[in-house]
A and B are shown apart, each in its own frame.
Chain A
Amino acid sequence: MLIKRAADIAHSEITPKSTYLNRRAFLAGLPAAFLGARALTAGTKLPNVTKSPYSTSEKINSFNDVSTYNNYYEFGTDKNEPSVYAKGFKTSPWTVSVEGLCAKPRKFSIEEIMALAPLEERIYRHRCVERWSIVVPWIGYSLSTLLKQVEPTSKATFVAFETFFDRKQMPHAAGLDFPYVEGLRMDEAMHPLTLLTVGMYEETLPPQDGAPVRMILPWKYGFKSVKSIVRIKLVSSVPPTSWNKQASNEYGFYSNVNPKVDHPRWSQAQERRLGELRMRPTLLFNGYGDQVASLYNGMDLKKYY
């Protein structure tokens, strides 16, 4: 019921700092466990989500496809395992530390992240390095909104992401060194398409899809879009990335979708959209070239794969 009431409040009223403080004081007066469970359980409807002009009009995949076919090695290396082994994953309380080369490093609670900016629904194409793709209505806002809060210094040229890892809660983790880490160049991180994601299909994220907060980078292979983020660090050199550490000849730092640059073991020229029988041609930057190609002007994309 409390959540339903919050839904009626316009975003313009809840974004000011004084309002969160009030809200936090208000929350403090209530049994935390009850609220935590209500506010952050997977599948909680997200209120006041606006439609984004960045959305594609392509047919979206079913919620079932997106929530039962997951690469989330912390919860098992088979696609069907995360939806089973991530059940009951604790995503509350949750904080994300934003730190490093910035004027105002600080920790954000997931509630603060949810309320930092109006939530937008963005229907993006998502292309996995394994040659399958999906179309998903994600919910979030541009990462730049969060990064601006901490005032990055001019020395911050890269952003490093670290995701949650706890062997006790993730006994099936295998195949990689954990915690999973990723990175972006600063201009990529500040690009408006770069989505800090807290929901999908009008609801909060299910744990197997990276609850409570993850990245979505629609022009890069899926493994760049880290799940269950706990730390975002502004740094001055190329940060290590998990798949690159695993096999540097197969997974580069940029990992932009590119049909002309094959994975050493398979071609990237085509992909299978889940739900379709025939393969379809893969597009450079996954079809987001108009928006992002200028980030890579003059770069040899075969060398910087």
Chain B
Amino acid sequence: MLRNRWTKVLVFVASLAPLMWVGWRAYNQNLTANPIEYITHFTGDWTIRFLVFTLAVTPLRKLLGLPDLIRFRRMIGLFAFFYGTLHFTTYLWLDKFFDVAEIWKDVYKRPYITAGFVAFLAMLPLAITSTTGWIRRLGGKRWQALHRLVYLSAIAGVIHYYWLVKSDIRLPAMYGAFVGILLAYRGVVWVINRKPRAAVKRPVTAIS
């Protein structure tokens, strides 16, 4: 099923569902008493969720023995960037009205804005080099190294969320836990693979 081309279409449509949902609510003038805040939070939530989904692809492939999940990673990652762009645009446009001086002051003075800005900027080169052409041009190793920037983006995204809530930290803590677990998985794999071959016979299968 994972190889079926229609599965890809299905994932694409499912990934657009949040946008359609918010569009429907906007059409019905049902975006709460503070629509700009609602849209900002909504697009921010979906950015961090898609970042978590992207980071989950590799561990799930290995742990569930579903190598074909890789077919969806690029698309899911690009959706993280897509919702991140909507989130960032909402801020630039509807919060700051493109007042560049105000935006710089914010980025400089407000740690949670700085963290959010870093999270977004880190996604930018990944979106640009997401094509097969760029993988070839950079070479697999270098491309992979560059794309580890997604770790930075996810961590900065969680910090951004954590720093902006007033007191109820349950949601940022939850995303922090997801990102933490998914990065810890990679750390464990890395440590195991680093050991001399003699010590561990088949390191990759050992944790699969």
Contact = CB atoms under 8 A, between A and B. Distances in A.
A65 B164 contact: no
B168 A174 contact: yes
B168 A73 contact: yes
Nearest to A266: B110
Interface in A10-67: 61, 64-66
Please name the 9 residue pairs, one residue from A and one from B, whose CB atoms are nearest each other, closest first.
A175-B168, A69-B33, A65-B33, A77-B168, A175-B167, A274-B33, A246-B167, A174-B168, A274-B34
Contacts of A65: 33
Among B36, B106, B167, which residue has the most Cβ atoms of chain A within 10 A?
Answer: B167
A161 to B, nearest CB: 19
Interface in B162-202: 163-164, 166-168, 170
21 contacts: A66-B33, A68-B32, A68-B33, A69-B33, A73-B167, A77-B168, A79-B33, A80-B32, A130-B166, A175-B168, A176-B167, A243-B167, A246-B166, A246-B167, A247-B166, A272-B36, A272-B37, A274-B33, A274-B34, A277-B94, A278-B97
Interface string B27-56: 000001110110000000000000000000
Contacts of A73: 167-168
Contacts, number: 48
Interface of A: 61, 64-66, 68-69, 73, 77, 79-80, 130, 132, 174-176, 243, 246-247, 265-267, 272, 274-275, 277-279
A174 B33 contact: no
B23 interface: no
B120 interface: no
Nearest to A134: B33
B170 A64 contact: no
Nearest to A68: B33
Contacts of B170: 174
Among B36, B110, B111, B166, which residue has the most Cβ atoms of chain A within 10 A?
Answer: B166
B167 A69 contact: no
Interface of B: 32-34, 36-37, 94-95, 97, 106, 110-112, 163-164, 166-168, 170
A66 B33 CA distance: 8
A246 B167 CA distance: 7
A266 B105 CA distance: 11
Contacts of A175: 166-168
Nearest to A278: B97
A247 B111 contact: no
B168 A132 contact: no
Contacts of B163: 265
A12 B151 CA distance: 71
A132 B37 contact: yes
Given A79-B33, A265-B112, 11 more contacts: A61-B33, A66-B33, A77-B167, A77-B168, A79-B34, A132-B37, A175-B167, A175-B168, A243-B167, A275-B33, A278-B97
B26 to A, nearest CB: 14
A130 B95 CA distance: 13
A73 B167 CA distance: 10
Contacts of A77: 167-168
Contacts of B32: 68-69, 79-80
A272 B35 CA distance: 11
Contacts of B97: 278
A177 B87 CA distance: 32
Contacts of B167: 73, 77, 175-176, 243, 246-247
Contacts of A80: 32
Nearest to A174: B168
Given A65-B33, A69-B34, A265 B111 contact: yes
B166 A132 contact: no
Nearest to A175: B168
